[in-house]
């Protein structure tokens, strides 16, 4: 007889039918009650064994973490907290777990401790829920775009371009670092490297995505990206996943509409698929909030926060309007911001974004028309304002507790304007000639955006550290597993 997954058994009617359960022991009480989990749900099923009829050596090895096979009858449970249980007729230990060495004993573990044993944290209820939600969000993203007839494009992970112009990129090389070839000028001779030029891990699939969008019309990428930014914070990773759609014949308004629709769609789908997981994490978050001063506690539960975002239109305003709000805000006037807002043109910090979302509007916000000087070269410029300020048709979506979740723009479609902008920003046009071909041959207005996938998972799970929503986090000084 094949074994039945625990999630299926927990939803079955207890008619005394014979079943086989395979999983890992969470707890073993009174030499009688075995809580078993097989990963299909964060919930356990209880198997009740007759210790007098069970071999002593077997009993000795039924420890937390051990893998077991249980055969028995599914019956109605008399105990609290479970509807069904297995009255065991046989129990077999498949894989032992030494209780002196297995680190996940039945007690409350801190998230900091679990980060140190990330390879085992999947076995906890919290991380079972987190990664089930991550799975649902990932599937929902594909479902959303596929239903809209977008083409899924795999853009390169190794690239010679820097889409963001940030320079914080991981270099890829096959050169012998103990004997690096040099040019006559004393620089690294990349012509002798594997690709014959300097290459890096990608920071974005956008530029390659634009090539495909100007052929297929609407495409999306969803893959890993990398930043060699030395940021040891709860919001940054060196390796993270990005969702990046690119659409021909889309202007800024179309771009914003699509992004808002997508976020609401994937959150709605995940609530429908993972309600139990969200409620488990809601309780965890509630317990965590009780430890905070009352003034710092959230006014909404996790589920309330998610449904609130679904039921309200995102607030849309320009960067200029946002600066006016921030300049006149109480935190700014009382010098409570770490980065005071004094003049137009500054790059907004997380504290500014969260003030707009959490204190002023109290809902998601879409900011548009940012200063050209703080945005990427490919963004379409607006007409110069009367005060001489230059802005671009950019948009960022800000979420409560997260700050920036989405960044996007209408792309500059005019070849002459784009090359002039590249000159201003010292981006060599010769190396980007392949990209400029999209503006030479059949150029059209087009737009796109990028979603930091881990930040989306942070929002939906209510977790507070981005290292807890990716299976194997990469950050400065840490590349385990």
The pLDDT tens digits of the residues spanning 175-201 come to 999 999 999 999 999 999 999 999 999
Q: What is the mean pLDDT of residues 244-255?
A: 98
Q: Which candidate, 58, 66, 129, places its Cα nearest to that of 98? A: 66
Residue 274 has pLDDT above 60, yes or no: yes
> Going by C-beta distance under 8 Å and a sequence separation of 6 or more, which residues neighbour residue 18?
1, 71, 72, 73, 74
**CATH 2.40.50.140 spans which residues of the chain?**
6-107
Q: Give me the long-range contacts of 42-45 (CB less than 8 A, separation at least 24).
A: 42/125, 42/126, 42/128, 42/129, 42/132, 42/276, 42/277, 42/280, 43/6, 43/7, 43/10, 43/125, 43/276, 44/6, 45/6, 45/9, 45/10, 45/21, 45/82, 45/84, 45/85, 45/86
Q: How confident is the model at residue 100 (pLDDT cuts 50, 70, 90)?
A: very high
The pTM score is: 0.94
> Which range (28-42, 393-407, 420-434) has the least confidence?
420-434
Taking CA 450 as the corner, what is the angle to CA 444 and CA 452, rounded to the nearest 5 degrees? 175
Q: Which architecture does CATH list for 6-107?
A: Beta Barrel (2.40)
Q: What percent of the chain has pLDDT over 70?
A: 99
Q: What is the pLDDT of residues 14-48, one digit of tens each?
A: 999 999 999 999 999 999 999 999 999 999 999 99
Quick one: CA torsion of 179, 184, 190, 194, rounded to 10 degrees?
-60
Q: What is the pLDDT of residues 287-346, one digit of tens each?
A: 888 888 877 778 789 999 999 999 999 999 999 999 999 999 999 999 999 999 999 999
> Which range (112-116, 228-232, 313-317) has the least confidence?
228-232
Q: Of 106-120, 155-169, 451-465, where does the model show the most confidence? A: 451-465
Phi, psi of 268 (to 5 degrees): -60, -45
Q: What is the pLDDT of residues 369-386, one digit of tens each?
A: 999 999 999 999 999 888
**CATH 3.30.930.10 spans which residues of the chain?**
123-168+203-468
Residue 166 has pLDDT above 70, yes or no: no
Superfamily of domain 123-168+203-468: Bira Bifunctional Protein; Domain 2 (3.30.930.10)
Report the pLDDT value the prediction gives residue 288, as an integer from 0 to 100: 86
**Backbone region of residue 382 per phi and psi (left: phi > 0; alpha: psi in -120 to 50; beta: other values):** beta
Residue 101 has pLDDT above 80, yes or no: yes
Cα gap 145→130, rounded to integer Å: 23
Report the pLDDT value the prediction gives residue 165, as an integer from 0 to 100: 59
Residue 411 has pLDDT above 90, yes or no: yes
Cα gap 63→49, rounded to integer Å: 14
Mean pLDDT of the chain: 94
Report the pLDDT value the prediction gives residue 366, as an integer from 0 to 100: 98
Q: How confident is the model at residue 226 (pLDDT cuts 50, 70, 90)?
A: very high
């Amino acid at each position: 007889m094949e074994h039945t997954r625990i999630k299926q058994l927990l939803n079955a009617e207890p008619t005394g039918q014979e079943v086989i359960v395979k999983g890992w022991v969470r707890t073993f009480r009174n030499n009688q009650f075995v809580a078993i989990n097989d990963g299909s749900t964060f919930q356990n099923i209880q198997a009740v064994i007759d210790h007098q009829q069970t071999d002593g050596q077997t009993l000795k090895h039924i420890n937390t973490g051990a893998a077991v096979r249980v055969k028995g009858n599914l019956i109605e449970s008399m105990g609290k907290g479970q509807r069904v249980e297995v009255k065991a007729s046989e129990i077999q230990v498949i894989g032992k777990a030494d209780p002196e060495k297995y680190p996940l004993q039945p007690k409350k573990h801190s998230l900091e401790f679990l980060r140190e044993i990330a390879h085992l944290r999947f076995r906890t209820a919290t991380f079972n829920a987190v990664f089930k939600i991550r799975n649902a969000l990932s599937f929902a993203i594909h479902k959303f775009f596929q239903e809209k007839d977008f083409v899924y494009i795999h853009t390169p992970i190794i690239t010679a371009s820097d889409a963001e112009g940030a320079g914080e990129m991981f270099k890829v090389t096959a050169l012998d670092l103990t004997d690096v070839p040099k040019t006559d000028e004393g620089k690294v001779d990349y012509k002798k490297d594997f690709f014959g030029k300097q290459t890096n891990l990608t920071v974005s699939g956008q530029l390659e995505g634009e090539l495909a969008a100007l052929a297929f019309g609407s495409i999306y990428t969803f893959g890993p990206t990398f930043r060699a930014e030395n940021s040891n914070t709860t919001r940054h990773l060196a390796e993270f996943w990005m969702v990046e759609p690119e659409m021909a014949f889309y202007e800024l308004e179309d771009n914003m509409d699509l992004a808002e629709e997508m976020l609401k769609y994937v959150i709605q789908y995940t609530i429908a698929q993972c309600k139990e997981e969200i409620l488990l994490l809601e309780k965890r978050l509630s317990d965590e909030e009780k430890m905070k001063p009352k003034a710092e506690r959230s006014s909404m539960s996790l589920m309330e926060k998610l449904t609130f975002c679904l039921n309200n239109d995102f607030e849309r305003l320009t960067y200029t309007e946002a600066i006016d709000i921030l300049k006149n805000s109480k935190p700014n006037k009382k010098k409570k911001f770490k980065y005071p807002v004094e003049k137009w043109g500054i790059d907004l910090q997380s504290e500014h974004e969260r003030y707009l979302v959490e204190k002023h509007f109290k809902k998601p916000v879409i900011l548009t028309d940012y200063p050209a000087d703080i945005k990427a070269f490919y963004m379409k410029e607006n007409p110069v304002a009367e005060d001489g300020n230059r802005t671009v048709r950019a948009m960022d979506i800000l979420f409560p507790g997260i700050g920036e979740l989405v960044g996007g723009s209408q792309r500059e479609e005019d070849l002459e304007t784009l090359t002039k902008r590249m000159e201003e920003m010292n981006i060599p046009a010769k190396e980007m000639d392949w990209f400029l071909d999209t503006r030479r041959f059949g150029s059209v207005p087009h737009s796109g955006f990028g979603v930091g996938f881990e930040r989306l998972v942070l929002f939906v799970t209510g977790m507070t550290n981005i290292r807890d929503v990716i299976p194997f986090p990469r950050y400065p000084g840490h590349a385990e597993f």
